[in-house]
Structure 1
Amino acid sequence: MSLAGEVAAVRAGQPNSAALVGEFRRTHVLMPVTNDSLMSAELGGIRWLYAFTDEEALAHFAASRGSEPGTEWPYLTASGARVLDVLIPAIDGPTGVALDAGSEQGMLFPPVAGIVPDAAALDVTATALDTPDNALGGNQ
């Protein structure tokens, strides 16, 4: 199923978190740029990077922010995997992704284990990261 299909399944009350994150990782997203940095917002102590599935979703967001129709916003294209695995860990502080913000298909990918690397996840403690595998239930 496509990313749009996985989001629709969540909206229909049939979520499959692993499939949703997997499709996000395989999808290339558009990330608007302003003043030489990625556009984001902060809410509740978390920085949310804006990412869009296509130019139409980005244009809808731009219009909701007061941009004149036809105004082009510069953006970068990146795979969801690169956003989650490389970009988010490089940013200071907790960071998640707001996909298609401002639309009915909007979806948040918070900075938690299973979405971002453990080192960037809010729900993984530094102690757990430093604990040997056998203390976490691994076999040795």
Structure 2
Amino acid sequence: MLAQRISEQRAGVGDPRALVGEMRRTVLLVPSAESGLWSARSGGVRWISAFTGETAMARFAVHHGPGDRLMDYVALLGARIVDEIVPTLDEPAGLAVDIADGDGAMFFPPVIGVVPDGVAVDSGAGQEGGGREH
């Protein structure tokens, strides 16, 4: 269902609040690495990579996997990722879903309504003029 909501949003007909709600209710597959969950930094944000299913994750693993070994992963509710894991990171962090799917990818940035207000970059907490201290 999340993949369908992403498709609707990308087509310009989706409801952003419904998309975030669906992400929160969806069990996502998150590749794990020796240092924790698979993530990448871009644009000043640490993006945790997650996938809506094994097929989507397999497309990612072809280019980023550990060679001839299977890619380890954990299954987590989207809400757990954004509510519990993101706040433990010492930097702005968001969720990147199905990033190997091009037209099916969706980014959930570290903003109010996606992550807890205390770690949202647009909450104004921590710094004068907005943003979070680094």
TM-score normalised over the length of structure 2: 0.87
Matched residue of 2:95: which SS?
Answer: strand
1:85 aligned partner: 83
Deviations 1:83-135 (A, max 9, x none): 1111111111100011011212110000000000001100011279xxxxxxx
TM-score normalised over the length of structure 1: 0.83
1:21 aligned partner: 20
Alignment of 1:1-140 (within 5 A): 2-65=1-64, 71-103=69-101, 104-126=103-125
Say how many residue pairs are matched.
126
Deviation at 1:27, TM superposition (A): 0.3
**Aligned pair in 2 of structure 1 residues 41, 127: CA closer, same or farther (>3 Å)?**
closer
Distance 1:115 1:93 in 2: 15
2:94, 2:109 within 8 Å by CA — same for their partners in 1?
yes
Distance 1:95 1:8 in 2: 23
* RMSD (CA atoms): 1.8
Gaps of 5+ in 2: 128-134
Distance 2:35 2:46 in 1: 17
Matched residue of 1:126: which SS?
Answer: coil
Deviation at 1:64, TM superposition (A): 2.8
Deviation at 1:65, TM superposition (A): 2.9
Distance 2:119 2:70 in 1: 32
